[in-house]
Structure 1
Amino acid sequence: MPWRKGEVSPQMEQIGERAGAIYRALRLAILEQALEPGTKLPEDAIGEQFGASRTVVRRALELLASEELVDIRPNRGAAVAKPTPAEARDLFSVRQDMERLVVKRVCGRLTPQQVERLEAQIAAEERAIYEGRPEYIRLAAEFHLLLAEMSGSPLLARYMRQIVGRSALVLGLYGRPQWSNCSVHEHRDLLAALISGDVERVNTMMHAHLDAVQA
């Protein structure tokens, strides 16, 4: 059956679905540092692993590149992004500003349901750390993404998703050892301060928290 201009063909829909699955799997591996910065991502090997064509794999890599999690270079292929020290400093400087916007929107305004969700997120972080599971890295990042989602601004949440994802690369390269053991306690302190509604105190704590994890 022919499709009209502007419609998506069934074949293109299938490519999109399969590319999305590969994108999510690779993104998860990057955030949990199973794929370290600089790791090459050959299209043929990924396609073989997922049973997908190179066209589908390329689309997934392009999605990751749009979030600056993957670098794609002509004649050199794709690799997990490897931010320089200067890029890392710039990233966290911008992130500090974005986190302040999030704090301004959520401080003192969290609903009981939102508080419960954040507490569950912190508990999941603690379990992952205690059990030595690598997803604690992703879970710690998701705490900040949850706050951004609760800000009520889809635009802010989208930008935070990109910058927090790239932050995981920076922490893998330059973060202090065992930073997560401290950050989970800091998340509990941040949540308590957010509930209290003291914006200035939360901003000070958030600044110290981000400085600590990247030190």
Structure 2
Amino acid sequence: MTSKPSDSIQKSAVPKSDAVYRILKRAILDQAFSAGTKLPEDSIGERLGVSRTIVRQVLARLNGEGLVELRPNKGACVSHPSLEDGHNIFAVRRALEILVVDSLIGKLTAPMIRELEAHVDSEDRARLTNSSASIQLAGEFHVLLAQLTGNAILSRYVTELVSRSSMILSLYGRPHSSDCAVSEHRELIAALARNDREKACALMGHHIEAITSRALLTSSSENDLSDLLAAYAREEGL
């Protein structure tokens, strides 16, 4: 008679590096850490129960997404992109995401459309219960679109730009309703399903411009690194 795997064993099947990555990324984008906050490998590793090697790998991954700065002989810290950086990031993102939409015209299958619709349904549900998750899912919608093009290079750059723009919004973005993202995403899917290139490209351009227009400087509070990581760690079972 075989026994049912325990929850702890099942959780251990998920790579710890992925869990640490999600924890740090969410904490940064939720502004739990203010820009410039130091991210010492030993403190993070001790709090999350992982080796410094894993933490170092995760910080390098976040550095590639523009969320963390790795400074020679000074360690890592949370990035602090400028407003000018933000406008540049969104300008490039707008161009690439219109390319994504153009690449998908005539290529989306019924299963792909259902996958996109299911994702937006998840956004809609999160909108009512978890604003942080709703915003994260909104960004992942754009990553999913890029992945569906089958163009690995385009997908990689869009993924990086979504992370970088999320960082910009966490620093400078004024509060907004997630209703906008959900409705705009549904309109975009409908245009893609109709193979309406002109409408789909116009919708994407307007959508990115609307996100860009929400730039407004805000402030964040200083808190203890260990305390800030605690809630995120509990959600990941660490």
1:44 is matched with: 42
Cα–Cα, structure 1 residues 179 and 94, in superposed 2: closer, same or farther, change >3 Å?
Answer: farther
1:108 to 88, 106, 118: 106
| CA shift for structure 1 position 19 | 4.0
1:27 is matched with: 25
1:9 is matched with: none
Distance in 2 separating the partners of 1:139 and 1:74: 34
| CA shift for structure 1 position 117 | 0.8
Amino acid at match of 1:112: A
2:210 to 204, 209, 212: 212
Distance in 1 separating the partners of 2:59 and 2:130: 29
Distance in 1 separating the partners of 2:49 and 2:209: 42
Residues 132-211 of structure 1 correspond to what in structure 2 (within 5 A)? 132-211=130-209
Distance in 1 separating the partners of 2:100 and 2:22: 25
Match of 1:145, SS?
helix
Unaligned runs of 5+ in 2: 1-14, 214-238
Asked if 2 retains the 8 angstrom alpha-carbon contact of 1:98 and 1:160, the reply is yes
2:125 to 124, 127, 135: 127
| Identity level (%) | 45
Match of 2:199, SS?
helix
Distance in 1 separating the partners of 2:74 and 2:187: 45
2:80 to 82, 85, 89: 82
Cα–Cα, structure 1 residues 32 and 124, in superposed 2: closer, same or farther, change >3 Å?
Answer: farther
Match of 2:54, SS?
helix
Amino acid at match of 1:152: G
* TM-score, with structure 2 as normaliser: 0.76
Cα–Cα, structure 1 residues 150 and 78, in superposed 2: closer, same or farther, change >3 Å?
Answer: same
Q: CA RMSD in A?
A: 2.0
Amino acid at match of 2:169: L
Cα–Cα, structure 1 residues 114 and 54, in superposed 2: closer, same or farther, change >3 Å?
Answer: same
* TM-score, with structure 1 as normaliser: 0.84
Distance in 2 separating the partners of 1:21 and 1:129: 23
Match of 1:135, SS?
helix
**Runs ≥4 residues deviating over 6 A:** none
Q: Which has the higher contact order (CA 8 A, sep 6+)?
A: 2
| CA shift for structure 1 position 134 | 1.5
Match of 2:158, SS?
helix
